[in-house]
């Protein structure tokens, strides 16, 4: 039997899974790679062209919510956009796998798998990878996303272009869904470090117990699960850029450790005494008012000034009225390509609602609504009903008479109820991170 000329990578912390998958796949595909430590994926992808990744969703004992798998999925798609990812998950964790499909995974496989099913999905993924590789490369970063023509957004990107050529630390401020990741990646792509790693760390999703090991790395035997020497995210970004997202959520007692690394450009792995020199560009972002957080003693003043050599503020969509309709058309084209649809248009009333809507969840909320509309619309015509903006707009029309906090609480309760108290779905629909949603639940005493 002739093997398919394809490179497959399997990432799992269980050696028996790696062995079984390699024995099966090497009969059908030319190159099979395995990793028992997901942190080594950056180095492997930098040295090899991988067509398909089989990615387990859980790697630490006691952490089985699939967050690590979703995080790695996003990292792989950033590092190697044309690599196709298949998620592997245990029965009963399908909901998280579905979340992964929304984040860009091709498919998922339940463990233990059926050999024929696994081979079928991998072959389909290889075909998908071949099609992706035949697509022409993007002309440039400016063509990869929508910027807009409003003065406020052009000012933000003008600042980004000026600072990109330097190694200055950049702090990006903006509400959830305003495009902080996109701007950070744009700065990286315009910089002298663009051919080296870009490492994205969502600090808001990092549990305090694993904060240091994830960021700074650890030596073998440093703790129960430390089976091999492992570099942290800072070391992975060596000679490149590290993007520390949601830095405002770092607990006060951990901020001093982060400050020391940023300040000295040295990092010491847990369980070691040897400091390692770093050569990294640091970009941070938050949706919080850090000046107020400093005043309230929730954020260290010295850390604030250390990360804030250049501050760039991304405006909310409600301050970019002239960009709403062009952005909607851009997102429509993006979703038509994603779902293989053609010639879909907005009707006039839908465009009117898009223009009037406050978009408190910003670009992320608009993208979510338009994706929903592309899936649901009939006769290739998107209506107000497809966008599901009617009831939310009713809230907005009464904002002058109702306190914003009351509106927000009501909206959260409504969408929580709609999603049967599913936090992930509710956060996504509201355009919030899970951490931000949890803070609002506590703020409004929503059980």
The pLDDT value given to residue 396? 47
Question: So where are the chain's domains?
Answer: 4-134, 151-313, 318-387, 399-444
Confidence label for 137 from pLDDT (cuts 50, 70 and 90): very low
CATH class for domain 399-444?
Answer: mainly alpha
Confidence label for 288 from pLDDT (cuts 50, 70 and 90): very high
Lowest mean pLDDT among 109-123, 129-143, 154-168, 237-251: 129-143
The pLDDT value given to residue 223? 85
| Fold agreement (318-387, 399-444) | no
The pLDDT value given to residue 328? 95
Confidence label for 187 from pLDDT (cuts 50, 70 and 90): very high
Which of 35-44, 49-58, 60-69, 142-151 shows the highest mean pLDDT? Answer: 49-58
Stretch 203-213: mean pLDDT, rounded? 84
Stretch 384-391: mean pLDDT, rounded? 79
Lowest mean pLDDT among 126-140, 253-267, 279-293, 297-311: 126-140
The pLDDT value given to residue 284? 98
Confidence label for 397 from pLDDT (cuts 50, 70 and 90): very low
pLDDT tens digits, residue range 54-80? 998 876 544 455 677 888 888 888 778
Does the pLDDT of residue 395 top 90, yes or no?
no
The pLDDT value given to residue 1? 66
The pLDDT value given to residue 85? 93
The pLDDT value given to residue 90? 72
**How far apart (Å, rounded) are the C-alpha atoms in residues 254 and 178?**
27
The pLDDT value given to residue 339? 82
**CATH classification for the domain delimited by 318-387, as one of 3.40.50.2000, 1.10.8.60, 3.30.830.10, 3.40.50.970:** 1.10.8.60
| Architecture of the CATH domain 4-134 | 3-Layer(aba) Sandwich (3.40)
Q: What is the mean pLDDT of the chain?
A: 85
pLDDT tens digits, residue range 417-446? 778 888 878 877 776 767 667 777 877 778
Stretch 403-410: mean pLDDT, rounded? 64
Name the packing angle between helices 348-356 and 390-397 (round to 10°). Answer: 40
pLDDT tens digits, residue range 338-370? 888 888 999 999 999 999 998 999 999 999 999
The pLDDT value given to residue 365? 92
Instruction: Tell me the percentage of the chain whose pLDDT exceeds 90.
Output: 48
pLDDT tens digits, residue range 76-110? 887 788 899 999 887 555 667 777 777 788 888 88
Higher pLDDT, 276 or 114: 276
Which of 30-44, 200-214, 234-248 shows the highest mean pLDDT? Answer: 234-248
- Beta-carbon contacts of residue 400 (< 8 Å; ≥ 6 apart): none
CATH class for domain 151-313?
Answer: alpha beta
Does the pLDDT of residue 276 top 90, yes or no?
yes
pLDDT tens digits, residue range 220-230? 888 877 777 88
């Amino acid at each position: 039997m002739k093997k398919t000329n394809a490179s497959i990578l399997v990432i799992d912390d269980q050696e028996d899974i790696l062995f079984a998958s390699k024995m099966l796949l090497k009969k059908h595909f030319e190159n099979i790679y395995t990793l028992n430590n997901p942190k080594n994926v950056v180095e492997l992808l930098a040295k090899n062209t991988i067509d398909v990744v089989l990615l387990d969703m859980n790697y630490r004992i006691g952490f089985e919510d699939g967050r690590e798998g979703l995080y790695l999925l996003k990292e792989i798609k950033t590092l190697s956009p044309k690599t196709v990812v298949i998620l592997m998950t245990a029965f009963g964790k399908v909901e998280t796998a579905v979340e992964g499909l929304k984040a860009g995974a091709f498919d998922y496989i339940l463990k233990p798998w059926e050999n024929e099913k696994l081979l079928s999905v991998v072959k389909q993924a290889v075909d998908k990878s071949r099609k992706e590789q035949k697509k022409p490369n993007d002309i440039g970063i400016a063509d990869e996303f929508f910027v807009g023509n409003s003065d406020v957004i052009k000012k933000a990107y003008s600042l980004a272009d000026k600072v990109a050529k330097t190694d200055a630390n950049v702090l990006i401020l903006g509400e959830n869904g305003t495009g902080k990741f996109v701007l950070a990646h744009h700065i990286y792509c315009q910089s002298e470090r663009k051919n080296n790693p870009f490492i994205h760390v969502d600090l808001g999703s990092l549990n305090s117990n694993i904060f240091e090991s994830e960021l700074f790395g650890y030596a073998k035997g440093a703790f129960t699960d430390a089976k091999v020497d492992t570099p942290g995210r800072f070391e992975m970004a060596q000679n490149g850029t590290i993007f520390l997202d949601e830095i405002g959520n770092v607990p006060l007692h951990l901020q001093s450790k982060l400050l020391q690394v940023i300040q000295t450009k040295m990092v010491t792995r847990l369980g070691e005494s040897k400091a390692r020199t770093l050569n990294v560009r640091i970009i941070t972002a938050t949706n919080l008012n850090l000046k107020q957080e400093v005043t309230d003693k929730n954020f260290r003043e010295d850390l604030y000034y250390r990360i804030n050599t250049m501050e760039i503020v991304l405006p909310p969509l409600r301050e970019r009225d002239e960009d709403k309709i062009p952005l909607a058309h851009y997102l429509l084209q993006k979703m038509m390509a994603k779902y293989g649809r053609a010639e879909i248009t907005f009707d006039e009333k839908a465009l009117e609602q898009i223009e009037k809507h406050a978009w408190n969840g910003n670009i992320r909320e608009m993208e979510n609504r338009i994706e929903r509309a592309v899936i649901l619309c009939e006769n290739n015509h998107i209506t107000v009903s497809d966008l599901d903006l009617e009831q939310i707009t009713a809230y907005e029309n009464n904002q002058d008479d109702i306190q914003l906090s009351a509106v927000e609480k009501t909206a959260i309760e409504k969408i929580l109820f709609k999603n049967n108290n599913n936090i992930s779905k509710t956060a996504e629909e509201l355009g919030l991170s899970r951490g931000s949603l949890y803070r609002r639940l506590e703020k409004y005493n929503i059980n």
